[in-house]
Structure 1
Amino acid sequence: MRKLLLFLLVSIALPALAQNGKKVYADFHGVRYTRQHDGKLGRWEMYANTEKSSTGRKSLCYNADLIDSEGRHEIAAVAYPQVGMQSNLDPDYIEYQILSAKAAKIDGFFIEWGFKPHENDILLREMQKVAAKYDFEIGVNWCDGWLYYDWITKIYPEVNTREAKTEYMAKCYQYLVDSVFTDPTAPMVKGMPVFYHFGPGAKVDEYKKVLSQVKFPQGMRQPVALRRWADWGKLENDKYIPVTRSDDMDAWEKVGEIPTAWLPARVRTRDQAHAEWDNYATQDDVIEFMKPFRDSIWHSNKPAYTIKSGFAMPGMDNRGCAGWGRGHFYYIPRNNGETYQSMWKFCMAEKDSLDMMFIASWSDYTEGHEIEPTIENGDRELRTTLKYAAEFKDEQADERGLTLPLMLFRLRKEARFLEKTKMDVSACQRSLDKAALLISQGRYPVAIGLLSQIENDVKTAKSALAVEMMRLRESDMKIQGKRKSGGYNAEETLSISLPKELVSKLQMNNYVGYLYFEYLDKGNESLFIRSSTQREPKEPFKIVSRIRTDNTGEWKSAKVELYKDNIMNGFNMPTFYLKGNVVVRNLSLGYTIYSVK
């Protein structure tokens, strides 16, 4: 009997013992916000002049406050998140992303980070909090170019020269050592902290000065820096020829950095089949781009190459930003997931030479190379990641966990809505916490059972709600403003006041509300919709929406969500104020009001 018990214990432990120490990390792009959570939108919105593009497209105008007929926000992206537009700082969303990544055998995120106190540092710290619960790792993709722009000078005016910025970079590196590389959530490969060094900020000599000023705790090994190498290459006889060596990379190697891939070069110019992009690459180009890494890094015996990383990305379509406003559209086809698979296959053919895999990216919707599940692509890229990450780590792939984080996320939002509707959901929230831990631990069958039970409990609770729907036309509201073109000119503030009976109901109950109207898309103007608010800081949270016009000359429909937490509905005062050199018409309001029966 004792032998049998020993055998069972050993068998249970075998999966853990089978792990070979190889790691998989994904770049994390942010920060994206929501009005409801943060009072702003961040990278979800984008306005840019693209007249430099050869495509003929003159501008980008993504008004992420606007909601279409399918309930999707007009985000700066070609694909829409499966969970909808969420805030990167929302703990529920962070949990969803971390658990989804873990289910696909991703070990951690490298947050695109520039310096402290940039907004991405807030994201980094919020990620660390949730990651600590679920045995997940959080590191950085250090974009030190942000530090050498004028961004830091706007915060600290005295940091206004390259010398001063280099001094400040040393402080940032020390901060990473103290707060990231020695944190329990630090990315570790072969016992060494690791980060991706995107650049393009410090020059080699400046970086030497930075390293000379950093103090490492006793016994800590210097973090391994994976240096971005993404030289352009060229096209010869319709074949992509990659760059095989670089003086710049040789110089970075001398300060201990290891050349590592990034998004493959897009050297092919716009043609009839790719009319919407200035440059593109093919699936074959992507593999050719990777070969120098295999030949000169992965197969090398250089002791300096302490961590060798493979690389994979799903494709690219940056119509969400056009090169971050530089007016250049790039494209790498996903080919129904084949491009991503081909990169993984290429790396797995060399898996014995690799210590880790780096994916770009988890969440760069704006450049269109996200692997987070979307409406358009489903969780295809996660399934591919799981398949090959399991092969890479010599582990078993279990697809049962891939759908559970989405179920958990939706139930969390349902529970929070019920809580705001004055229901006691504390037991439900405790059960959701247990389900999250079960998903994190890979105990999927137990998690499925618990989530199904919670789902039934939530349905029962919702059945106890009374629902009242109200729709107000212009004649039902008090609108004060200047009339023009069959509507109102908001150049002078336009105000909307609600009936007292409705105000009373909105104050007492939970609701979902929308403001509907049409606006004349003329010129390049901003239309702000504001309300009074009790949230702090007031300046962002009093903004209900901001809409930019794109000079099409057309009347456009607008639907904007109204968040109870942000909006103060008061008696004898307007609820909404519209301001901007824009003509609006056909205003209406729709509310669904919830109360406990």
Structure 2
Amino acid sequence: MKVAVLLLFSWAFSAHGADVYVHMMPWFETKESNSGQWGIHWTMANRNPDNVVDGKQDIASFYHPEIGAYASGDPDVVDWQLGAMKTAGIKGAFIDWPGTTEAFDYPKNKENAEAIIDGTVRAGLQFAVVYEDNNLNLAGVGDKIAQGTADMQYVQSNYFSKGNYVQLDGAPLLLDFGPQALYDDNWDQIFSPLDPKPTFLTLWNQNQQGGSFVKGEYAWVYSNYLDGLNNWYNFQEVPIKVGVAYPGFNSFYEQGGWPGPGFTIEFGTDTFQATFDLALANTDVIQICTWNDYGEGTIIEPTLEFGTQFLDIIQAATGTQYTHADFDEVTEIFLLRKQHANNATMLGHLAQRYHNLVHKFD
């Protein structure tokens, strides 16, 4: 079933009537941002980005960011990422959100997520959060209901009230990557203090575990590829569906020394076009999976291997007035910011240039 998205404000065009968002990871760190150590999502168990192999950093991925391994909280990186989204005609980011648990790298991920949220305002984009309830399991949280309630109250107080937070079906949109730790009436308990209640979506085929407030599901990448997507679009009866498009699935987990999924879906523009077209035919809201999950190999942001090929497809579909040359300008602004990092006058000029670029068609 198709649903209309109610937006507080809108800056980007839609692809054939659909609103296009991207799932974004905020968990990357460099030595400069992480007390002299590369973050684990660049290294996994056995990689070192300080090493260069065949002209590319030795990161835990088959693909390499066009700008090099980066820190997710770096405002220059954020503007490069969100500027590329804006000039592709993407409406905003669904940000993978770790919760407020003080464990592992979760606090840093949350800090980075909020740097990205700040960047959405600069770029004129929307955002919503995708809650990682499995982090409650991974962190060994004893009272999951209490921590989940604290997480939801934080989301309501700090995100839902923002003018560029995505509104779906008349309420703030909240997605959960699961459920994996909270089930059934657990959600009723943690949503009880919230007013209004969010439009709550679980992963596909899991809405039965989402409690009484669940409104629907969102699709994701899985080994059954188009068969699974067609079955979900055609036969899963839920009020709200958010479709998915992705470029493939080429996990580096085994090579990186981590446990993880073992299936592969061919990575490239053919896979992306097929899943994008299928989503356009079936839903009004599409989440691209993902902007930058390098470990699982589902990236659409510009890379050394594929450049802007995935963004070119989105740009053509959205009908935006931006062109391919605008992608180049976004990257040029990023590089100039790094080159002139100690020149306040130049940085002010570049900030204005970025603003003019991302808002020129608003």
> How would you bin the TM-score normalised by the shorter chain?
0.7 to 0.9
- Structure 2 counterpart of 1:223, from 198, 217, 221: 198
Matched to 1:341, the amino acid is: Q
Query: How far does the alpha carbon of each residue in 1:535-584 deviate from its partner, in whole angstroms, 9 at most, with x for none?
Result: xxxxxxxxxxxxxxxxxxxxxxxxxxxxxxxxxxxxxxxxxxxxxxxxxx
CA contact (8 A) 1:104 1:382 kept: yes
Q: 1:36 aligns with which of 32, 36, 48?
A: 32
- In the alignment, is residue 211 of structure 1 matched against residue 191 of structure 2? yes
Deviates further, 20-29 or 337-346: 20-29
Residues 397-443 of structure 1: CA deviation (Å, up to 9, x unaligned): 63332222111101111111xx3xxxxx3332221011101221146
Whether the 8 Å contact between 1:102 and 1:440 is mirrored in structure 2 is yes
Distance 1:314 1:326, change over 3 A: same
3-state SS, counterpart of residue 193 of structure 1: strand
Q: Deviations over 1:25-72 (max 9, x none)?
A: 11112311111233332211111xxxxxxxxxxxxx2122323462x3
2:233 aligned to which of 294, 302, 308: 294
Q: Report the Cα distance in structure 2 between the residues aligned to 1:323 and 1:65, rounded to whole angstroms.
A: 16
- The separation in 1 between residues aligned to 2:157 and 2:73, in whole angstroms, is 22
1:258 match: secondary structure? strand
Letter of the 2:58 partner, please give it.
E
Question: Paired residue for 2:172?
Answer: 193
- Number of the residue aligned with 1:101: 85
Partner of 2:133: 144
Structure with more relative contact order (C-alpha pairs < 8 Å, separation 6 or more)? 2
Task: Report the Cα distance in structure 1 between the residues aligned to 2:91 and 2:257, rounded to whole angstroms.
Answer: 29
Residue 113 (structure 2) pairs with residue 124 (structure 1): yes
- Structure 2: runs of 5 or more not aligned: 1-9
Identity percentage over the alignment?
A: 22
Residue of structure 2 in register with 1:340 after alignment? 272
RMSD between superposed Cα atoms in Å: 2.6
2:51 to 44, 49, 66: 66
One-letter amino acid matched to 1:259: E
Distance 2:300 2:74 in 1: 19
Q: Cα distance 1:38–1:250, how it changes in 2: closer, same or farther (>3 A)?
A: closer
Equivalent residue pairs, number: 344
Per-residue CA deviation, residues 444-479 of structure 1 (Å, 9 max, x unaligned), is 9xxxxxxxxxxxxxxxxxxxxxxxxxxxxxxxxxxx
Aligned amino acid, residue 185 of structure 2 = D
Contact 1:29–1:112 (CA under 8 A) maintained in structure 2 = yes
Please say if residues 111 and 120 of structure 1, whose CA atoms lie closer than 8 Å, have aligned partners that are also in contact.
Answer: no
1:382 aligned partner = 311
Q: CA deviation at 1:387?
A: 2.1
Question: One-letter code of the match for 1:143?
Answer: E
Structure 2-normalised TM-score? 0.86
Q: Select the residue among 19, 23, 46 that pairs with 2:44.
A: 46
Counterparts of 1:168 and 1:208 in 2: how far apart (Å)?
A: 14
Contact 2:201/2:207 (<8 A) preserved: no
Q: Does 1:319 align with 2:252?
A: yes
Aligned twin of 2:357 = 439
Aligned position for 2:220: 262
8 Å CA contact retained: 1:127, 1:138: no
Alpha-carbon distance in structure 1 between the residues aligned to 2:298 and 2:54 = 26
Return 5+ residue gaps in structure 1 as ranges.
Answer: 1-14, 48-60, 154-158, 230-245, 267-284, 420-424, 445-597
- Alignment-mate amino acid for residue 175 of structure 1: Y
**In 1, Cα distance between the equivalents of 2:245 and 2:314?**
9
Give 2:190's aligned amino acid: V
Deviation at 1:177, TM superposition (A): 0.9
- Indicate the larger mover: 61-70 or 125-134: 61-70
> Once the 2 structures are TM-superposed, how far is the Cα of residue 189 of structure 1 from its aligned partner?
3.4
Give TM-score, length-normalised by structure 1. 0.54
Structure 1 position 84 matched with structure 2 position 68:
yes
User: Which of 132, 148, 161 is the aligned partner of 1:182?
Assistant: 161
Letter in 1 for 2:308: D
C-alpha contact (below 8 Å) 1:44/1:64 kept by paired residues: yes
What is the rounded CA distance, in whole Å, between the counterparts of 2:59 and 2:11 in structure 1?
41
1:108 & 1:292 partners in 2: Cα distance? 27
The 8 Å contact of residues 112 and 142 in structure 1, kept in 2 or not, is answered as yes
Name the CA distance, whole Å, in 2 between partners of 1:333 and 1:290. 16
Equivalent position SS for 1:308: strand
CA distance in 2, matches of 1:290, 1:349: 12
Distance 1:382 1:127 in 2: 19
Paired amino acid for 1:401: D
Q: How far apart, in 2, do the equivalents of 1:404 and 1:436 lie?
A: 9
Contact in 2 for aligned 1:189/1:356 (Cα 8 Å): no
- Structure 1 CA distance for aligned equivalents of residues 12 and 111 of structure 2: 36
CA drift at 1:176: 0.6
The aligned amino acid for 1:145 is: N
Greater Rg over alpha carbons, structure: 1
> Does the CA-based 8 Å contact 2:21-2:92 persist in structure 1?
yes
Mapped pair 1:429 → 2:347: yes
